[in-house]
């Protein structure tokens, strides 16, 4: 999986991935065609003359060599057996490329080693040390130079020996010559290193860490956001160990926090906490585990949007705070399932502690009132709460109840509506802060209430059914009686008419 960050800057729509021809020093567009490149990044200033014709010849040569190697099953065609594309096309031997790089970086030590025919690793070490000069190169030459440097390092028998220093140098943008696009150019170079490594290569983890630090330093967290969902799978493939995974998530948390993404930062801290072994009590009570746990607790309690604490209370290292930091554990329990009165008792018991720990007392007090409102709504079977009862629980004037009702609805803890005429808050839906034995009892009480209500409704329906049945029977009886009466009347009238006809006949 490739990390392909598309960055947008003023005056530049995006930085396009480019293929680099190390022999000519040209950075070719990713879609190679027989047309001049939109920009030429030259390592050798003498090559600027005749750039168009030279570029066409070089492009044809590269394509011809690539086709030839593909047909022969060469190393270039098979070097990415996992389906990852070849991002850099180079032409020339390692010695020739290293000499060009040494000349460009003005590394006398590397030149001397090349002249003496020194080992490849020694030459690469000197070139990597000299690569810090990349931060001073002109903007149009940076991509070509950094691509060549990356290619040379990846030819090493042990690239991980050189990549940390190289990534550190690439993370220093050419701000002097490119104050606007400098960070984007450096980020492109770092992501090129990431993309050229195999997916399962553990070195990728180190490079990704450098990318996160770079994005954090230059306020570019939005470029990282699309790849956070892929991070767990990447970590599994890298198999970099729990310690590094923990550091990686902490770095993501720091970057997210500085970008104003408090909830994302909190989630990353929880992921870092879950890297500790749940069965190792010594590890759970270590200074590192306790430090990260305290940070998570502070973030959860201080957050303006986080109101449910079951996730953090389920983390073993946080549970271990009950022994090492009992006051923090007590405060977390209060915010998880208790109410405003308990919070006030806590403040009376530990006077000044909230301020000493640099909590915002006003923010915590407001949050506790919202949580108390939610608990009150959840504990009311009738789903109708009087204003006076809300005012008492929240310790506020009754005229402020409607304002707090609106706030708790905005927080997503409760859904309902106000009845000003009846001075009641009608609960439609409520979020349970915890669901333990107490909540099961409340649910059982509510179910019993519903059952009694349904039984009453059922009794009324049965009674109405019986009444309707009796009414139908009475109506049928009345109808039969009327029909019988009508039949008798017709019989008498018939006999009377018969007698009249008989008399007439006589």
CA distance 448 to 460: 18
Place of tokens 């070139």: 127
Q: Is the pLDDT of residue 185 over 70?
A: yes
The H-assigned helical ranges of 218-320 are 231-238, 242-258, 262-273, 281-284, 287-302, 310-313, 316-319
Q: pLDDT confidence of 449, banded at 50, 70, 90? A: confident
Q: Average per-residue pLDDT in the chain?
A: 81
Give the count of beta carbons closer than 10 Å to the beta carbon of residue 490. 9
pLDDT for 4 equals: 34
- pLDDT tens, residue by residue, 35-82: 333 333 333 333 333 434 444 555 555 555 555 544 443 333 333 434
Whether the pLDDT of residue 109 is over 50: the answer is yes
Do 211 and 191 meet the contact criterion of CB atoms below 8 Å apart?
Answer: yes
* Among candidate residues 418, 370, 424, the one with its CA nearest the CA of residue 394: 370
C-alpha–C-alpha distance, residues 442 and 454, integer Å: 18
Token pair belonging to 453? 């209500």
- The pLDDT score that the predictor gives to residue 93 is 85
Considering just the CA atoms, what is the radius of gyration of the chain in Å? 40
Q: Read off the tokens for 326.
A: 């009992």
Please tell me the least confidently modeled range out of 41-50, 131-140, 261-270, 419-428: 41-50
Beta-strand relationship, 414-419 and 26-29: unpaired
Tokens of 306: 């986080």
Q: Summarize pLDDT for 396-428 with one digit per residue, the tens.
A: 999 999 999 999 999 999 999 999 999 999 999
Compute the average pLDDT of residues 435-461. 82
Q: In the structure, what pLDDT confidence band is assigned to residue 444 with cuts at 50, 70 and 90?
A: confident
Contacts of 287 (CB under 8 A, 6+ apart): none
User: Which two structure tokens, joined as six digits, stand for 191?
Assistant: 């992501």
pLDDT tens, position by position, 203-227? 999 999 999 999 999 999 999 999 9
Average pLDDT, stretch 436-453? 78
In this predicted structure, the answer to whether residue 353 has a pLDDT above a threshold of 80 is yes
What the block records as the tokens of 193 is 């290193």
In this structure, what token pair is assigned to residue 388? 């006076």
What's the CA gap between 260 and 249, in Å, rounded?
16
pTM (whole model) above 0.75: no
Write down the pLDDT at residue 148.
92
Q: What is the pLDDT of residue 52?
A: 41
Q: Which of 254, 198, 236 is CA-nearest to residue 83?
A: 198
Q: Cα–Cα distance between 135 and 102 in angstroms, integer?
A: 15
Alpha-helical regions (H) of 117-181: 120-130, 139-154, 163-170
User: Of the candidates 131, 155, 153, which has an alpha carbon nearest to the alpha carbon of residue 142?
Assistant: 131
Name 118's Cβ contacts closer than 8 Å, sequence gap at least 6: none
**Residue-by-residue DSSP string for 305-323:** S----HHHHTSHHHHTHHH
Q: How does residue 495 score in pLDDT terms, banded at 50, 70 and 90? A: low
Tokens of 444: 């059982």
What is the DSSP secondary structure assignment for residue 26, as one 8-state letter? E
Average pLDDT over residues 366-371: 96
Backbone angles phi, psi at 171, to 5 degrees: -75, 0
Mean pLDDT of 117-129: 91
Instruction: Provide the pLDDT for residue 20.
Output: 41
Distances (CA, A) of 432 to 125, 218, 336, 415, 442: 60, 41, 10, 12, 11
Matching residue, tokens 């992921």? 271
pLDDT band per the 50, 70, 90 thresholds, residue 491: low
Q: What 8-state DSSP symbol labels residue 84? A: P
Give residue 400's pLDDT.
95
Rounded Cα distance between 271 and 487, Å, is 91
Cβ(9)–Cβ(180) under 8 Å?
Answer: yes
Structure letter (DSSP) for residue 49: T
**Does residue 260 carry a pLDDT above 60?**
yes
Exposure of 420 by Cβ count < 10 A (0-12 exposed, 13-18 middle, 19+ buried)? exposed
Does residue 252 register a pLDDT over 60?
A: yes
What's residue 47's pLDDT?
34
pLDDT for 14 equals: 31
| Measured distance between the N- and C-terminal CA atoms of the chain, rounded to whole angstroms | 122
- Exposed/middle/buried for 415, CB within 10 Å: 0-12, 13-18, 19+? middle
pLDDT higher than 60, residue 379:
yes
Cα separation, 193 vs 188, whole angstroms: 9
| Chain centroid offset of residue 367 CA | 24
């Amino acid at each position: 999986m490739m990390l392909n960050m598309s960055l947008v800057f003023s005056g530049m729509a995006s930085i396009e991935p480019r293929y680099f021809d190390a022999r000519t020093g040209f950075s070719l567009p990713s879609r190679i065609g027989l047309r001049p490149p939109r920009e030429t990044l030259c390592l050798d200033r003498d090559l600027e003359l005749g750039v168009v014709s030279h570029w066409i010849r070089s492009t044809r040569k590269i394509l011809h060599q690539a086709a030839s190697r593909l047909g022969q099953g060469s190393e270039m065609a098979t070097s990415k057996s996992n389906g990852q594309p070849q991002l850099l096309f180079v032409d020339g031997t390692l010695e020739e490329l290293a000499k060009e790089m040494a000349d460009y970086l003005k590394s006398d030590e590397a030149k001397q080693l090349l002249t003496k025919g020194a080992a490849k690793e020694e030459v690469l070490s000197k070139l990597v040390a000299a690569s810090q000069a990349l931060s001073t190169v002109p903007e149009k030459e940076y991509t070509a130079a950094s691509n060549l440097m990356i290619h040379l390092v990846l030819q090493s028998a042990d690239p991980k020996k050189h990549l940390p220093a190289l990534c550190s140098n690439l993370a220093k943008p050419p701000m002097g010559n490119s104050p606007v696009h400098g960070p984007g150019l450096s980020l492109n170079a770092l992501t090129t290193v990431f993309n050229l490594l195999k997916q399962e290569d553990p070195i990728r983890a180190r490079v990704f860490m450098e990318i996160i630090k770079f994005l954090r330093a230059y306020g570019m967290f939005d470029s990282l956001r699309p790849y956070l969902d892929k991070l767990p799978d990447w970590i599994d493939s890298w198999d970099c160990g729990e310690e590094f995974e923990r550091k990686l998530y902490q770095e993501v948390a720091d970057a997210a926090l500085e970008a104003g993404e408090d909830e994302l930062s909190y989630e990353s801290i929880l992921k870092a906490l879950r890297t500790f072994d749940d069965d190792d009590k010594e590890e759970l009570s270590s200074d590192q585990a306790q430090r990260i746990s305290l940070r998570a607790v502070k973030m959860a309690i201080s957050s303006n949007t986080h109101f449910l604490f079951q996730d953090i209370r389920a983390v073993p290292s946080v549970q271990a705070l009950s022994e090492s930091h009992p006051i923090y554990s007590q405060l977390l329990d209060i915010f998880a399932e208790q109410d405003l009165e308990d919070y006030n008792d806590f403040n009376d018991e530990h006077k000044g502690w909230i301020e000493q720990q640099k909590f915002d007392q006003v923010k915590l007090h407001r949050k506790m009132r919202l949580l108390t409102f939610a608990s009150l709504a959840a504990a009311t079977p009738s789903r109708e709460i009087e204003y006076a009862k809300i005012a008492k629980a929240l310790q506020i004037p009754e005229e402020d109840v409607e304002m707090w009702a609106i706030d708790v609805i905005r927080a997503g803890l409760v859904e309902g509506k106000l009845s000003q005429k009846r001075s009641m808050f009608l609960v439609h839906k409520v979020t349970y802060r915890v669901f333990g034995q107490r909540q099961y009892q409340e649910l059982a009480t509510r179910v019993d209430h519903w059952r009694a209500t349904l039984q009453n409704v059922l009794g009324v329906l049965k009674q109405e059914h019986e009444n309707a049945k009796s009414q139908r029977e009475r109506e049928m009886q009345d109808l039969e009686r009327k029909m019988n009466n009508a039949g008798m009347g017709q019989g008498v009238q018939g006999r009377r008419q018969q007698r009249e006809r008989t008399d007439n006949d006589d």
